[in-house]
Structure 1
Amino acid sequence: MAENENNGNAVAEEARAIVAVVEEKAPCKDKELGDCGGGGGGGGGGGDDDIPKASKNKNPLLEINNLEKAIATMTLILSIPVLGFIVWIFYVRESECESILKLPSFQIGIGVGLIFLFLISNAVVFLRSRYPVLGLLIVMVPLLLTFIIGLALVGAYKMESRSVAASPKWLRLKVFDQAHSQDIKTCIYDSGACDDLVSRTLMLKSYDFSLKKLSFIESGCCMPATICEMEYVNATFWRKTGGPIDPSNPYDSDCNLWDNERGNLCYNCISCKTGFLRTLQAKWRKLGIFLIVASLLLFISHLILFLSSVFKQFRI
């Protein structure tokens, strides 16, 4: 009997030891697999050698991919204004008698160049993973040309070539060339700019007319210069008061050239040519600013996209 009792006590102690071991290992259900696997510090394949699942999700390549996709999307968005500007160029290609100076053909050439830039830019975005270096070199050529043309149109550098069409120096030479003077005068007259000014200001008094904002052509071709000090009757009819004229001032000669006849007015005046010139320069300067800004933004986005693509390939 005593022997059976001893055996029973031994079995019970072994059972309690097994239960204790199971209870000690139970919390491992809520831990990562690597923390439960080796028991002691020396067991084969301890928990320090296993990578937790949370750390596997923090892959730097995923962050690079997300950045690259964001930059690619931004590059595509930046090309949309270029497409809109192309549409504007082809639908508004002639204004303010520009055909006399053959500017519409140059404007169409810029539009065709922007079409190539749009197609090349988007093609490089889609093929960046295969040809990153070649794509960057290809897209940099039209971007550089666009940037240079934009600088020429705004007259940003003093050594500007007179052969660059629509640049400030080129426009001044063409407008003040005697070969184009009569054509410009006839075109402005046929456009009816002064007739429109009369119809819009017919009921205005002298003070109200002086406050009205006029275009460069209206103020230069349809009315005498303010230095002439003529008396206002209406927008295109002024009485000469016989004020002093300074022959050294080029604009003072316009006072003698002024004529109240509808076909003369101040079409032969220096102020009329200057107004026509400023109208052209304002338009082409805006076009040049757009080309500069668009080329710079696309250059920066393509460069960042190239660096991210190369970095991702080296990491892989």
Structure 2
Amino acid sequence: MFRLSNNLVGILNFIVFLLSIPILGGGIWLSTRASTDCEKFLEKPIIALGAFLLIVSLAGLIGACCRVSWLLWVYLLVMFLLIVVLFCFTIFAFVVTNKGAGEVVSGRGYKEYRLGDYSNWLQKRVNNEGNWAKIRSCIQDSKVCKSLSEKNQTLDQFVNDNLSPLQSGCCKPPTACNFVYQSDTVWNKPDGFTSSNISDCNTWQNDPNILCYNCQSCKAGVLDNLKHDWKKVAIINIIFLIFLVVVYSIGCCAFRNNREDNAYPRWKGYP
């Protein structure tokens, strides 16, 4: 009678195999239809993830169900490396997102963000011109500022609005600039305005294609978004790690069964 652990490994990998097909297909479809930098950035990771899941699931499925010990050994090795990588990434994600938070502004419903409050590693990533050019393009493609401008709020409504980190950092100048409100994304410099000590005040422009996309506050808003997203991913990773450890343990049992079957062929019977 076929061993229970082999059955479980086979079933789990068959499910993963079925899931890998739409993921791989979606990545290939995206590569042929991608028109923005964000879509082009996603296509390669999606294809790589789909191909990885496809190959690993086939190795586990064939290794467990067909008693191919060397293939199951490769599968277990990959699983072990994946567990180590996910564990390291989870620790790293908690460390680099430990610093930084929005600052409450008196009389405002939204918070403002400063780049210096976040970890040095994250700051270096967004300060890289090549990285920021891609991120800025994604923000523009998302039309996050356009959606804000379409609200057509009064000044009182605007200052009490609960803006997202991206809207607060990228779609308006910092409150300390004391610009004159005209609309959600149009702020005029007051008469007699001279160069400010705040670099973002000089960077701001009313052009909807520029706004504060090159501001330090915009980069900080991106990092605040990233911080919350990474923490969510880290929590999901912990759950996924527990699942992988369970699957790895079952796989080890299946590998032991394969070795026993190879040592004592079925036609000889088991002692």
* TM-score range normalised by the length of the shorter chain: 0.5 to 0.7
In structure 2, the CA distance between the partners of 1:266 and 1:181, relative to structure 1 (3 Å rule), is same
Root-mean-square deviation over aligned CA pairs: 4.8
Residue 33 of structure 1 corresponds to: none
Deviations 1:204-238 (A, max 9, x none): 34454456554443332111234546564422023
Aligned equivalents of 2:59, 2:145: Cα separation in 1: 46
- Alignment of 1:139 with 2:79, yes or no, is no
| Residue identity opposite 1:222 in structure 2 | C
Identity in percent: 25
| Residue identity opposite 2:145 in structure 1 | C
Deviations 1:141-172 (A, max 9, x none): 3224434554565534879xxxxxxxx98775
Residue 11 of structure 2 corresponds to: 73
- Alignment of 1:235 with 2:184, yes or no, is yes
Residue 225 of structure 1 corresponds to: 174
Asked whether the 8 Å contact 1:221–1:269 carries over to 2, the reply is yes
In structure 2, the CA distance between the partners of 1:112 and 1:309, relative to structure 1 (3 Å rule), is closer
| Residue identity opposite 2:204 in structure 1 | W
Deviates more, 1:304-313 or 1:256-265: 304-313
| Residue identity opposite 1:218 in structure 2 | Q
In structure 2, the CA distance between the partners of 1:306 and 1:178, relative to structure 1 (3 Å rule), is closer
Structure 2 counterpart SS, 1:223:
coil
From 126, 129, 153, the equivalent of 2:65 is 126
Structure 2 counterpart SS, 1:266:
coil
Tell me the TM-score normalised to structure 1 length.
Answer: 0.52
Deviations 1:261-296 (A, max 9, x none): 334321221122233455567667767776775565
Asked whether the 8 Å contact 2:172–2:185 carries over to 1, the reply is yes
Q: How many residues align?
A: 235
| Residue identity opposite 2:221 in structure 1 | G
- Alignment of 1:195 with 2:146, yes or no, is yes
In structure 2, the CA distance between the partners of 1:253 and 1:117, relative to structure 1 (3 Å rule), is same
Deviations 1:6-32 (A, max 9, x none): xxxxxxxxxxxxxxxxxxxxxxxxxxx
Deviations 1:117-153 (A, max 9, x none): 22223223322xx245x34421123224434554565
Give ranges in structure 1 of 5+ residues lacking alignment.
1-61, 160-167
Aligned equivalents of 2:8, 2:156: Cα separation in 1: 57
From 250, 253, 260, the equivalent of 2:199 is 253
In structure 2, the CA distance between the partners of 1:192 and 1:75, relative to structure 1 (3 Å rule), is closer
Deviations 1:235-278 (A, max 9, x none): 202356799x995xxxx432343233334321221122233455
Residue 303 of structure 1 corresponds to: 249
Aligned equivalents of 1:291, 1:116: Cα separation in 2: 21
Tell me the TM-score normalised to structure 2 length.
Answer: 0.59
| Residue identity opposite 1:140 in structure 2 | L
Structure 2 counterpart SS, 1:238:
strand
From 103, 128, 135, the equivalent of 1:177 is 128
In structure 2, the CA distance between the partners of 1:124 and 1:231, relative to structure 1 (3 Å rule), is farther
Structure 1 counterpart SS, 2:206:
coil
Aligned equivalents of 1:278, 1:216: Cα separation in 2: 7
Matches of residues 91-102 of structure 1 in structure 2 within 5 Å? 97-98=37-38
In structure 2, the CA distance between the partners of 1:149 and 1:232, relative to structure 1 (3 Å rule), is farther
Deviates more, 1:88-97 or 1:172-181: 88-97
Asked whether the 8 Å contact 1:144–1:295 carries over to 2, the reply is no
In structure 2, the CA distance between the partners of 1:78 and 1:153, relative to structure 1 (3 Å rule), is same
> How far off is 1:196 after superposition?
2.9
In structure 2, the CA distance between the partners of 1:110 and 1:217, relative to structure 1 (3 Å rule), is same
| Residue identity opposite 1:261 in structure 2 | D
Matches of residues 1-12 of structure 1 in structure 2 within 5 Å? none
Aligned equivalents of 1:120, 1:258: Cα separation in 2: 55
The structure with the larger Rg is 1
From 243, 257, 270, the equivalent of 2:216 is 270
Asked whether the 8 Å contact 1:75–1:298 carries over to 2, the reply is no
Structure 2 counterpart SS, 1:119:
helix
